[in-house]
Amino acid sequence: MPAIPACFKAYDVRGRVPVELDVELAYRIGRATATWLGGRTFAVGRDCRLTSGELCDAVARGLTAAGADVVDIGECGTEMIYHVTAAKGLDGGIMVTASHNPMDHNGMKLVREEARPISGDSGLHEIGALAVSGGGARAAAPGRVTRLDHREAYVADLLELAELSDLRPLKIVANGGNGCAGPVVRALAAHLPCEFVHLHDEPDGTFPHGIPNPLLPENRGQTAAAVRAHGADLGLAWDGDFDRCFFFDETGAFIEGYYLVGLLAAASLRRHPGAAIVHDPRLVWNTVAMVEAAGGRPLMNKTGHAFIKERMRAEDAVYGGEMSAHHYFREFHYCDSGMLPWLLVIQEMSRTGRRLSELVAAMQAAYPASGEINRRLHDPDEVLIALERRYAPLSRGIDRTDGISMDMGEWRFNLRKSNTEPVIRLNVESRGDADLMRAKTAEIMALLDG
């Protein structure tokens, strides 16, 4: 197989424009995708980055050159491509987005029929090789491009899936980060008895308030401050293509995605008793405890949307969650959504009459966690070997589902290499002992930094 372009990663296409990804390559990717899948109709969409329009147009030209018809839904979130592909029975879809990457980056997320992901081990690299070698077939009769405003149908399905009823009139701060979330939040808000404080909700590819990536602590201040200033019940923020949603409680405190996995798992099991729940291996004790207490089956699986979705389909799991704020739902075509989670959380707040801080307090106390800590290292593999030598004699169990996880009884850690960035990621948790968790986190970080 020919060498693939550097912008082809484990799960998607992502790189600097125009150095690693340009209009010509985007055109070839479109042609190669239609050729490799052999499909007749594909959806395309784009985020609001300044280069997304021309790249999306090039993808559409490539698809039609191969004889495929294109349904262009315009500026949207990634999950809207998932939704239109599955809901309308299309052969595939391509979303042009770089999510939370730097300003000069862009990329693509590809799916096939039923919104099944196309990743490195399921055809993405073959598409990359085909793009390099010429781009695939040219049809005698090119396909057509049809424009479709899909937002109304997508919003209607979200409202139906969330089964919203008897909602309290909550006040919600919604920070769109000048990505694509704002217009969808406003469309949903029109159907809810809640008061919204909208921050940076106009899509703007210059990102005047910084790249939308609330996973970074330095990007959380505006949302937290707005929650406190407005006396809001809840704060929400999204990344650029809004496939991840981040939560702040009524005090402005950021809620780690780990505890949202437990909360949403329990809520899903109340609607689907005894179902399977898929979770990632980075932080696990709270999720397992919540799922088992609710009568479900917890299933640990390798991190990454393609792996989680595949396992969910195999097990018919009702929900899948990653502590990085990716939440997957069987009823949403086994795909991740950044909108369904907050709709379900406000439903839980209304049903129980409890604040978000109260819904997660017991989980936070029972299983204190470090949150994910990233380090760029010269030789990550050497570090993994060194950490295993250091802690294996103390460990009650070692798991290699993703990176290395070690269970020391009262605390555990997971250390793994990123599939999308040249970094190593650390997560530590303990059984009810926040001081122990902090001490062990500092201990491992000293070894990493040394």
Q: Please pick, among 52, 99, 337, 405, the residue that the annotation labels catalytic.
A: 99
Tokens of 49: 């980055």
User: Quick one: which H or E segment has residue 43?
Assistant: strand 41-46
Distance separating alpha carbons of residues 322 and 43, to the nearest angstrom: 27
Collapsed DSSP state (helix, strand, coil) of residue 114? helix
Collapsed DSSP state (helix, strand, coil) of residue 215? coil
Instruction: Specify the residue for token string 């057509």.
Output: 144
Residue 297 bridge partners (DSSP): 276
Distance separating alpha carbons of residues 31 and 217, to the nearest angstrom: 40
99 annotated active-site: yes
HSE-up (13 A, CA, CB side) for residue 85: 29
Nearest to 159 by CA among 196, 195, 180, 184: 184
Give Cα separations from 334 to 290, 307, 315 (angstroms). 21, 11, 11
Distance separating alpha carbons of residues 93 and 108, to the nearest angstrom: 10
Distance separating alpha carbons of residues 31 and 64, to the nearest angstrom: 8
Distance separating alpha carbons of residues 113 and 343, to the nearest angstrom: 27
User: In one letter, which amino acid is 284?
Assistant: V
Distance separating alpha carbons of residues 287 and 326, to the nearest angstrom: 14
Distance separating alpha carbons of residues 440 and 435, to the nearest angstrom: 9
User: CB of 195 within 8 A of CB of 189?
Assistant: no
Nearest to 326 by CA among 311, 312, 305, 342: 305
- 65 CB contacts (<8 Å, ≥6 apart)? 27, 30, 31, 135, 138, 139, 142
Angle at 366 between CA 364 and CA 371, to 5 degrees: 45
User: CB of 253 within 8 A of CB of 275?
Assistant: no
Tokens of 39: 């499909």
Collapsed DSSP state (helix, strand, coil) of residue 378? coil
User: In one letter, which amino acid is 262?
Assistant: G
Residues acting as catalytic residues: 99
